[in-house]
Structure 1
Amino acid sequence: MLCLARAGAIDFARVEYVRLGLDRVDDDPDAIALGARLLKDVALTAREPRRTAFAKASTRRYDALYQRFGGLYGAVNAATMTLIAGDRAGGQARAAAALRVPPPRGLTGEAAYFAAASRAEASFLIDDIEAARATMVEALACAPGAFAAHASTLRQLEMLCRETGVDPAWLAPFRPPVCAHFTGHILDASREGALASGLDGDLRHEADRVVRGQGIGFAYGGLAAGADIVFAEAVLDAGAELHLVLPVNLASFVAVSVAPFGRDWVERFEHCFARATSVRYASPDPYVGDEQVFAYASQIAMGCAVLRAQTLSTEAIQVVVWDGHATEGLAGAAVDLAYWAKGGRRQEIIAVRRPPSLPRQRSDQDADARTSRAMKAMLFADVKGFGALRDDQIPAFVATVMGQMAKVVSGLDAPPRHVETWGDGLFLVFDHPIDAALAALALQEAHRALDLRALGLPRSLGLRIGGHYGPVHLSTNPLTKAPAVIGAHVVVAARIEPEVAPGSACVSEALAGALAVFHGDRVRCGYVGRTRGHKDVAAIPIFNLTRA
């Protein structure tokens, strides 16, 4: 149920909570805390008077947790939810009482951190910002590397700042290290001679300066010869995490982007690759001349940096090693620079002087292959429980459930470019990630508004939606002669949908990242977990999709 809640399927999680009888449990602190959290989640996304009602219900549940088991967690959360319910004075009184509870003894690590962080939250509730600040310093000293725990507290305090109108700038010293996307030029010793050697040393000095000066703790990018490897070495030597996103399979990437530029670069690549925290591949295929896959890998890396920053409640920046020259291709430092700039986040440019890059040699066959490929956002949707319907229920399902989907799709401001449907299934293709995201949310909201019982249908019918973003082939179905959208990335989208909890929408890391870079003010994507891997199918991370 906690996974369901994190996936955004709050209503389904609450139904399961009651179905399993956990709402009647009074002797298990985890069960009580989970019930309080589910009520809190509803309250924080609701409007009056529903907001107040659920906030009060959450308060009662947290208070029951405190009364039965003691501890600051229940007491402070009861104080916070009292404030959310509109009773600020009552929340302050509860917070003051919580601060009078003697601190627990003997706690270490994250347990000690959360105890101190709870006291900081209580101090904030009674308007004692200085005490909250001092207590947060103590809390971080208990578990300095527990960044996920820090982020949880920061999100709670940010929410309280919004509720009370307090400037959240006081939280800046407590944020985890910065997340960075890095990109830059290949240094080709065969073309640039001594210049490449000199750039290597100067670049490393600048990379060290940026990593230290910006407080970078997590870096996402490629590992081509030149700027990528130099920056990766600086990141690793600083003790930060290196996360690689390679455009094609490993052997092909090394053959195209590392080995042609000297054996030294290959050795340095292997050293960095072995020390990387994670490695992602935009495509498992070899390079066939389509530069779009390099641009796609950079977009995934940028999205990963922003998503990680959101998860940790910290900042995402871009570090670009750039010679100042525009590029004629689909990929490269200049393209990455322009893409990130559209999101309005900070950029750190390390300027270098070098000859303009030579274009890659392309064959006519490669050019023909690229003309059929385009970047698209895709949604697969179906209704869990459709297969169990009686035959006499099918007409009502088609007329109402599918009819409602059709109404939503036809009313979208940015309709899909391609639609397919079969039974209860739906496949929609959009030009832009945000159009797919808004369509998914509109479909979910319309389905939730249906009175299924009045229609003679099971209330358990739940719409589930999976989404992905990537390059696909635009073709024609030889049997039906109708337009077709096919390719490996269509398969990725199709495999996500069966893993989604009914009543929610989940998307791939590629789609979540694209949304996070440009549309964080409209939608939010939170990490849920990984799909189930199979013999020939790797597990992939998925993110829930909700309105911001």
Structure 2
Amino acid sequence: MTPGEACESIRTHLARGAPWDACDAFREAIANHPGDAELLYWGALAHARAGAGSRAHALLDEAQESPQSSTRLADILSLRGRLWKDAFARAPEHPAATATAQRARDEYLAAYALARDQYPGVNAATLSMLLGDCDAARALASEVAGLLAAQAAAATCWDHATAGEAALLLGALDRARESYAAARALAAQDAGTIATMRRQVNLLSRVIPRACKLLEVLPAADVLAFAGHMIDAPDRSPPRFPAALAPAVAAAIRERLARMHLPVVYTSAACGADLIFVEAALEIGAEVNVVLPFDRGDFMRTSVAPGGDGWVARFDHALSRVARVIMATEERYLDDDVLFEHAAMLLEGLCVLRAAQLETSPLLLCVVDAAAPGRVGGTRASYERWARTVGTPEVIDLQRIRSQFESDPRATGSVATPAPPPRSMEALPSTPSAEPGPLSVPRPQRTLKT
């Protein structure tokens, strides 16, 4: 891969709001092209968006020392400004916050003086406003607006965003809304680009409270973790998720996904609810990230094949289409259920991190039977952990769907209104039951992903 191709790969990851993937792409590329200033700059930006400020500063030092740095100097100074701005945004009440904001503004002003580029100009204006220097902020914003109005080339997404920010600083909220709406239209499916705009608007809302209204035209992507029960083995008694309920569960999942904007999802891929969810998410073009707890062959044997050969084929087809398969560990299963718990916690953590990156709140959707006993690493454990540490999960009540089917088997193929959470899940105890569930022979110790 050439440096140019590597930079394009990094840009693509950043546009969709996946800076950690961008960092991985950078590390692989820089090993083959050490000292490339352009690559170092994009690597620094990836690390900045991932929150690795110290590493980003170090990469910018390397880029600035490169013989090629002259063509990127204004961008390097702007990115240094962004790093100091991020540090200020993380701790605005810190005793050193004012000095940090001043340092950010100085870097942006230096970049603006070099190239008269609108981007560092409007950022310098924003930092001035945050520092209470309203006159300087408005003067810079007016200058930037003039530069944008005078340019001959068609406006890009970032041009519109910059115009929106300048208008906001000048008190023209309606004009700012129009510009941000135009920026969003050009950003299309780039959730990371929208998140960057939202971050800047949120920052300005500290001194311009009306700025929050602009977030309505910059909707964030929905970031969703999923957990759900496996399909029942033929000999399971009492039934929990018999195969006959699959169409109703699929309908309920599709209905929930249809409400979401640019969904980014994290899930496992066991037979039953997991794979039904993966297929439904792929149908609507969601970014699907699958987390497997251990060796793929062992996972198929223990958590996919028990549903029957049809599930194995669905597993292989689905995983060939997802955005990423993440191995929580490469080791064998060896009857160690803690690997399921580890994978579930990794999946949930990735969801929380990605939501923060995309300036939104993470969600958890569970397909769960509140009356069924819980197991280590299972759906109940995920529900309870999320409720304790993040917020209230959304629930598709498997018990209710099963009751509807038992009363009218013809209704299971189309559930118009998904079941609400079962009494907000009060039926679930605060800790998972230690009671073992029914086992299926001749499988290993448990039905694994539950």
TM-score (norm 1): 0.59
* Matches for 1:469-484 after TM superposition, within 5 Å: none
Letter in 2 for 1:29: A
State the 1:181 CA deviation.
0.7
1:179 has 2:223 as partner = yes
Partner residue, 2:147 = 101
Aligned twin of 1:214: 260
Task: Report the equivalent of 2:158.
Answer: 114
Q: 1:264 to 1:169 in 2, by over 3 A?
A: farther
Question: In the superposition, relative to structure 1, how do residues 322 and 26 fare at CA in structure 2: closer, same or farther (>3 Å)?
Answer: closer
Structure 1 pair 229–99 and aligned structure 2 pair: CA distance change class (3 A): same
1:134 to 172, 178, 185: 178
* 1:466 match: none
Q: 2:77 matched to which residue of 1?
A: 32
| Letter aligned with residue 304 of structure 1 | L
Per the alignment, residue 54 of structure 2 pairs with 9
Deviation (angstroms), 1:229:
0.8
* Superposed CA offset, 1:292-337 (max 9, x none): 2112111111111111111111231111001112534212111111
1:78 is displaced (CA, Å) by: 1.6
Equivalent of residue 307 in structure 1, options 353, 372, 384: 353
CA contact 2:439–2:445 (8 Å) conserved in 1: no
Return the letter of the residue paired with 2:196: S
Alignment correspondent of 1:325? 371
Letter in 2 for 1:30: D
Could you say what secondary structure the match of 1:289 adopts?
Answer: coil
Contact 2:250 2:280 in 1 (8 A): yes
Correspondence list, 1:139-178, <5 A: 139-166=183-210, 168=212, 170-178=214-222
How far apart are the structure 1 equivalents of 2:197 and 2:358? 10
1:410-449 to 2 correspondences below 5 Å: none
> Following the alignment from structure 1 to structure 2, what is the Cα–Cα distance between the partners of residues 326 and 195?
10
Which AA in structure 2 matches 1:32? L
Q: Is the contact between residue 240 and residue 372 of structure 2 (CA under 8 Å) also seen in structure 1?
A: no
Q: Distance in 2 between matches of 1:233 and 1:212?
A: 13
Q: What does residue 437 of structure 2 align with?
A: 358
1:176, CA displacement in angstroms? Answer: 3.1
Quote the Cα distance in structure 2 between the aligned partners of 1:43 and 1:293.
Answer: 39
Query: How much does 1:93 deviate?
Result: 2.8
Q: Is the 8 A contact 2:366 2:394 kept in 1?
A: yes
Q: Which moved more, 1:331-340 or 1:84-93?
A: 84-93
Aligned partner of 2:177: which letter?
A: R
Structure 1 counterpart of 2:298, which letter?
A: S
SS of structure 2 residue aligned to 1:175: coil
The answer (yes or no) to whether the contact 1:95–1:122 under 8 Å persists in 2 is yes
Give the match for residue 225 of structure 1.
271
Match of 1:188 in 2: 232
What is the deviation of 1:148? 1.5
Say which SS state the counterpart of residue 66 (structure 1) adopts: helix
**d(CA) in 2 for partners of 1:250, 1:11:** 35
| More displaced 10-residue stretch of structure 1: 307-316 or 245-254 | 307-316
What is the alpha-carbon root mean square deviation over aligned residues?
Answer: 3.5
Per the alignment, do residues 290 and 11 of structure 1 end up closer, same or farther by CA in structure 2, a change over 3 Å counting?
closer
The one-character-per-residue Cα deviations of 1:489-532 (angstroms, maximum 9, x if unpaired) are xxxxxxxxxxxxxxxxxxxxxxxxxxxxxxxxxxxxxxxxxxxx
| Alignment partners' CA distance in 2, 1:10 and 1:46 | 22
Q: Is the 8 A contact 1:25 1:31 kept in 2?
A: no
Map residues 241-390 of structure 1 onto 2, 5 A cutoff. Answer: 241-353=287-399, 358-360=437-439
Q: Which runs of 5+ in 2 are unaligned?
A: 1-40, 404-434
1:234 maps onto 2:284 in alignment:
no
TM-superposed CA distance for 1:136, in Å, is 1.0
Residue 76 (1) aligns with residue 122 (2): yes
SS in 1 for 2:263: strand
Aligned match for 1:89, one of 99, 119, 135: 135
* SS of residue in 1 equivalent to 2:269: coil
Counterpart position of 1:445: none
Contact 1:322/1:349 (8 A) holds in 2:
yes
Partner Cα separation in structure 1 for residue 437 and residue 103 of structure 2: 65
Question: Residues 185-208 of structure 1: CA distance to partner in whole angstroms, max 9, x if unpaired?
Answer: 111251369973331111111111
CA contact (8 A) 2:293 2:339 kept: yes
Q: Percent identity at matched positions?
A: 27
- Please give the alpha-carbon distance, in whole angstroms, between the structure 2 residues aligned to 1:153 and 1:122: 13
SS at match of 1:162: coil
Provide, for residues 210-230 of structure 1, a one-character-per-residue CA deviation record: whole Å limited to 9, x for no partner.
101133611111111111111
**Closer/same/farther in 2, CA of residues 346 and 127 from structure 1, 3 Å limit:** farther
Displacement of 1:39 in angstroms is 4.5
**What CA distance in whole angstroms lies between the structure 1 residues aligned with 2:97 and 2:162?**
23
Distance 1:185 1:31, change over 3 A: closer
**Distance change in 2, residues 1:329/1:359 (3 Å):** farther
Please say if residues 137 and 169 of structure 2, whose CA atoms lie closer than 8 Å, have aligned partners that are also in contact.
yes
Q: Is the 8 A contact 1:29 1:69 kept in 2?
A: yes
| 8 Å CA contact retained: 1:247, 1:297 | yes
Going from structure 1 to structure 2, the CA distance change for 1:101 and 1:184 (only over 3 Å counts) comes to: same
Unpaired stretches in structure 1, ≥5 consecutive residues: 368-548
1:361 Cα deviation (Å)?
7.8
Could you give the per-residue CA deviations for residues 445-498 of structure 1, whole angstroms, max 9, x where no partner exists?
xxxxxxxxxxxxxxxxxxxxxxxxxxxxxxxxxxxxxxxxxxxxxxxxxxxxxx
Number of equivalenced pairs: 362
- Report the secondary structure of 1:141's partner residue: helix
Can you list the C-alpha shifts for 1:64-101, whole angstroms capped at 9, x where unaligned? Answer: 43343223112211211211322123212321332232
Partners of 1:10 and 1:284 lie apart in 2 by 28
Conserved in 1, the CA contact under 8 Å of 2:226 and 2:265? yes
Shift in Å, 1:231? 0.9
Post-superposition Cα deviations, 1:352-378, rounded to whole Å, max 9, x if no partner, equal 13599934589xx989xxxxxxxxxxx
| C-alpha distance 70-131 of structure 1, shift in aligned 2 (>3 A) | same
Deviation at 1:26, TM superposition (A): 10
TM-score by length of 2: 0.71
Structure with greater proportional helix content: 2
Give the distance between the partners of 1:67 and 1:15, measured in 2 at CA.
19
- Structure 1 Cα separation of the partners of residues 308 and 62 of structure 2: 60
Deviates more, 1:247-256 or 1:278-287: 278-287
The residue type equivalent to 1:230 in the other structure is: I
